[in-house]
Amino acid sequence: MRRTLTAAAVPAGLLAVGLLATGCQQSGKADPKGANRVSVTLTDDGCRPSPAKVGAGPVTFTITNKDSAKVREAELLRNGVIVGEKENLTPGLSGTFSLNLKAGKYQMYCPNAKTEKTDFTVTGTAADSTQDPAVRKALSAATTGYHDYVVSEVDLLLPATKKFTDAVRAGDVAKAKTLYAAARYHYETIEPVAESFGDLDPDVDARANDVTDPKSWTGFHRIEKALWQDRSLAGMATVANKLDADLLRLKALVAKQKYQPAQLANGATELLNEVASSKITGEEDRYSHTDLTDFEANVTGGRKAFDLLKPALDKTDPALASKVDEAYDGVFAALKPHAGTYSGTTFVDYSTVGEAQRRTLTQKVDALAEPLSQVAAKVTG
């Protein structure tokens, strides 16, 4: 999810969850057992959910962009917090996300529409879960494990970034360049979590085209431009200071988060979406060409979420679990030849990767996309 820095950005909240947005844009074909189904059509006028009221429990949202060039995503909000989303839907494409929803007032939010928000209501109490107790226990362990993983990644992110920003403040262009990719790595492993906190992700990770006012542009990519294109760190100390402060805010926010199993699966798929929509295209690190480091970080973070869910998925759909596992192996195998040391921070300059090699990477990502998109529905009890 990339947001322009405007007042329309959603306030801080829970993990933003979305399903696949790769080239084919078909996802989530299996619904959770007994799930309510809600259809949402994106138009220039808005995105009204149908039905607009459902009972508590598993809900699968199918989002379709009929013909809108302005509206490309839909988000489910509760009290201004993103609890589910589907993005990067160009005209003619569709996708889904599944969640377990409690009773309450929600809103369907579609940025840039004439009417951006439409009410959505969940009523009653969810029926008692029919999941195998062993599956419920495994899923509970997965959500706890994911919380711990996110916290640990932020704990690695802060010192890595501090080394980078110290070099920026010192005006050492050469040293800052060597530290840039390593600083970003741990942010990219948990990007969907960071994206859920309103303006935090745009402040940390916005690209030039995401910003309406260039003077307000901050974060990693603002410094990246200074290093590789401007070749000067003049004025970047302030940006470095803000980056450190924003990541301290991220540390405080992730410490409080709780997740449901579908959010882990949706987050893994959203990380794959990040690979397909900005890493393979070379849009992410357009000045430094360190896109492959981000690519690996996204896939690593997604696999961690999947690996935590796998003990439960092995019980409910072992064939799907095996298929996703093999597809992840395929993505890493395709990435490995481009590594300098394959340390998680060193890869070849992405501008040197030819079209044939990029097609191979795309094919492996697509092979993972379809089975991975089915996992959320399998773990929404």
Q: What phi, psi does 108 have (nearest 5°)?
A: -95, 125
Q: What is the pLDDT of residue 31?
A: 62
Q: What is the pLDDT of residue 380?
A: 81
Q: What is the pLDDT of residue 340?
A: 63
Q: How far is CA 294 from CA 2, 121, 182, 313, in A?
A: 15, 38, 9, 27
Angstrom distance (rounded) from CA 219 to CA 216: 10
Q: What is the pLDDT of residue 32?
A: 63
Residues of the chain within CATH 2.60.40.420 domain(s) are 36-129
Residues of the chain with pLDDT under 70: 1-34, 128-130, 340-345, 381
Domain 36-129: CATH superfamily, name plus number:
Cupredoxins -  blue copper proteins (2.60.40.420)
Q: What is the pLDDT of residue 227?
A: 97
312 neighbors 144 (Cβ within 8 angstroms): no
* Cα dihedral 297, 299, 305, 307 sign: negative
> Domain 134-379 adopts which CATH fold?
A middle domain of Talin 1 (1.20.1420)
Buried b (16+ CB within 10 A) or exposed e, 350-362: beebeeeeeebbb
* Cα dihedral 344, 320, 371, 136 sign: negative
Element of type H or E holding 1: none
Q: What is the pLDDT of residue 128?
A: 61
Angstrom distance (rounded) from CA 377 to CA 363: 24
Q: What phi, psi does 111 have (nearest 5°)?
A: -55, 140
Angstrom distance (rounded) from CA 357 to CA 351: 11
Q: What is the pLDDT of residue 34?
A: 67
Q: Output DSSP code: residue 156.
A: H
Residues of the chain within CATH 1.20.1420.20 domain(s) are 134-379
Angstrom distance (rounded) from CA 131 to CA 381: 6
* Angle of the 261-274 helix axis to the 291-316 helix axis, nearest 10: 150
- Does residue 32 have a cis bond before it (omega within 30 degrees)? no
